């Protein structure tokens, strides 16, 4: 059997090991050390917009701290994209708050600003002002941030951008993760760059980022003994992992180019087949194309479903995956309020993520393309 082709495996650049070796040589093997500060500064530089960055143990931890700093508490409501991974909204529940889900719009597959406004007005009518908005840039495609920020500002509700999948993406020339009040990033093993596991909290408000570092290191007050006035968390990134991150940052632009090239080849070779659709990039949007997703429409002439394509690839030891199952369809969240829901449900029904790693070889990609093409045109 040929080695498995994974959906989105880690892709080291080569320099990571030097930074890791340096951490070992200096014995900084803990969630403190020079790589952490350097990684934060280098990330802040990359993102621009004068942001500060706190390096954390995961993207989920970053969302959790953002909610805490925004004062989300028991009984509050937080608006969140329904079309996402559970890591976006589980931290709402960690705080004892309730997620209120907002459906996608067709153009970006991300939060629909009209539904967002409708939801806010409806919650206000019910006497409950949402405490925050979590907007996700899914698969690297930026959400419609101008409209979303306008609605949020009008109602004075802070915005957390979940850019876990969108490091390197830009919206009207501005990096995703720097537009809202908070941005969060993930460096999990499957993301565009990785620290093995890790995440970051981003904000233009440097005091908020400083507070996140404090909360992430057990909220220890500034005295010699261990004194605590706040609940703290063990959410800091380790110095060893930050070393990996520093090496990965050096190849981030290359990884974006490579992922986009993977998308372009799929699009060029499969884009004109009947019943297949890709997610185009609207003017002013620049996606890192973290994963290439296809939609298969079950029209009269074309009855190939995304699941038959997935099973065809699986037989050749190639991993593909349905799109994220919307949160409002998850057993966990069946009681949560939702506005709209049909758009993301249809995307889930028809969609498939194809292997999109920046280290996918052209030979591997050509095999995937042939398999998909043969299935769609009915040779198999």
Ligand X SMILES: *Cc1c(COP(=O)(O)O)cnc(C)c1O
Rule CB under 6 A: which residues touch ligand X? 58-60, 84-85, 87-88, 136, 162, 164-165, 186, 188, 199
Residue 131's nearest CA partner among 157, 150, 100 is 157
For the CB of residue 65, give the shortest distance to ligand X in the complex, in Å: 12
Residue number closest to ligand X, CB atom: 59
Q: What is the 3-state secondary structure (H, E, C) of the chain?
A: CCCCECCCCCCCCCCHHHHHHHHHHCCCCECECHHHHHHHHHHHHHHCCCCEEEEECCHHHHHHHHHHHCCCCCCCEEEEECCCCHHHCHHHHHCCCEEEEECECCCCCCECHHHHHHHHHHHHHCCCCCCEEEEECHHHCCCCHHHHHHHHHHHCCCEEEECCCCCCCEECCEECCCCCCEEEEECCCCCCCCCCCCEEEEECCHHHHHHHHHHHECCCCCCCCCCCCCCCCECECCHHHHHHHHHHHCCHHHHHHHHHHHHHHHHHHHCCCCCEECCCCCCCEECCCCCEEEEECCCCCCCCCHHHHHHHHHHCCECCEECCCCHHHCHHHCCCCEECCHHHHHHHHHEEEECCCCCCCHHHHHHHHHHHHHHHHCCC
For the CB of residue 196, give the shortest distance to ligand X in the complex, in Å: 11
Q: In this complex, which beta carbon is closest to ligand X, that of residue 28 or of residue 235?
A: 235
Q: Cβ of 151: how many Cβ atoms within 10 Å?
A: 22
For the CB of residue 160, give the shortest distance to ligand X in the complex, in Å: 11
Q: In this complex, which beta carbon is closest to ligand X, that of residue 136 or of residue 262?
A: 136
Torsions phi, psi for 126 (to 5 deg): -80, 5
Report the C-alpha gap between 99 and 82 in whole angstroms.
9
For the CB of residue 138, give the shortest distance to ligand X in the complex, in Å: 6
For the CB of residue 61, give the shortest distance to ligand X in the complex, in Å: 7
Q: In this complex, which beta carbon is closest to ligand X, that of residue 324 or of residue 375?
A: 324
Q: In this complex, which beta carbon is closest to ligand X, that of residue 47 or of residue 327?
A: 327
Q: In this complex, which beta carbon is closest to ligand X, that of residue 57 or of residue 312?
A: 57
Inter-residue contact 253 to 261 (CB < 8 Å): no
For the CB of residue 273, give the shortest distance to ligand X in the complex, in Å: 28
Q: In this complex, which beta carbon is closest to ligand X, that of residue 196 or of residue 308?
A: 196
For the CB of residue 87, give the shortest distance to ligand X in the complex, in Å: 3
Q: In this complex, which beta carbon is closest to ligand X, that of residue 199 or of residue 326?
A: 199
Q: In this complex, which beta carbon is closest to ligand X, that of residue 95 or of residue 188?
A: 188
Torsions phi, psi for 77 (to 5 deg): -120, 140
For the CB of residue 297, give the shortest distance to ligand X in the complex, in Å: 25
Q: In this complex, which beta carbon is closest to ligand X, that of residue 116 or of residue 176?
A: 176
For the CB of residue 199, give the shortest distance to ligand X in the complex, in Å: 4
């Amino acid at each position: 059997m040929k080695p498995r082709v994974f959906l989105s495996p880690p892709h080291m650049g080569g320099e990571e090991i030097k930074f890791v070796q340096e951490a070992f040589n200096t014995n900084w093997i803990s969630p403190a050390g020079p790589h952490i500060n350097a990684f934060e500064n280098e990330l802040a530089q990359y993102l621009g917009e004068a942001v500060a960055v706190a390096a954390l143990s995961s993207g989920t931890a970053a969302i959790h701290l953002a909610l805490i700093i925004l004062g989300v508490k028991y009984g509050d409501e937080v608006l969140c994209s329904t079309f996402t991974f559970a890591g976006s909204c589980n931290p709402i529940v960690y705080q004892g708050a309730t997620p209120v889900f907002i459906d996608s719009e067709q153009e970006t597959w991300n939060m629909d600003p009209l539904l967002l406004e409708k939801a806010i007005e409806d919650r206000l009518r019910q006497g409950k002002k949402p405490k925050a908005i979590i907007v996700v840039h899914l698969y690297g495609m930026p959400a419609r941030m101008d409209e979303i920020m306008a609605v949020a500002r009008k109602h004075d509700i802070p915005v957390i951008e979940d850019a876990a999948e969108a490091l390197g993406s830009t919206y009207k020339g501005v990096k995703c993760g720097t537009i809202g009040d908070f941005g969060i990033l993930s460096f999990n093993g499957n993301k565009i760059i990785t620290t093995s596991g890790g995440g970051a909290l981003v904000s233009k408000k440097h005091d908020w980022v400083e507070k996140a570092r404090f909360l992430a290191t057990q909220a220890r007050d500034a005295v010699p003994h261990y004194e605590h006035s706040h609940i703290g968390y063990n959410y800091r990134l380790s110095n060893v992992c930050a070393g990996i991150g520093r090496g990965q940052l050096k190849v981030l632009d290359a990884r974006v180019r490579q992922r986009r090239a993977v998308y372009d080849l799929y699009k060029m070779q499969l884009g004109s087949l009947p019943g297949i659709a890709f997610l185009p990039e609207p003017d002013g949007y620049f996606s890192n194309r973290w994963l290439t997703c296809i939609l298969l429409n079950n029209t009269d002439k074309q009855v190939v479903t995304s699941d038959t394509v997935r099973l065809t690839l699986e037989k050749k030891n190639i991993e593909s995956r349905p799109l994220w199952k919307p949160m409002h369809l998850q057993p966990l969240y069946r009681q949560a309020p939702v506005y709209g829901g049909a758009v993301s449900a249809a995307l889930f029904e028809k969609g498939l993520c194809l292997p999109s790693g920046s280290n996918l070889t052209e030979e591997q990609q050509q095999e995937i393309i042939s398999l998909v093409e043969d299935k769609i045109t009915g040779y198999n």
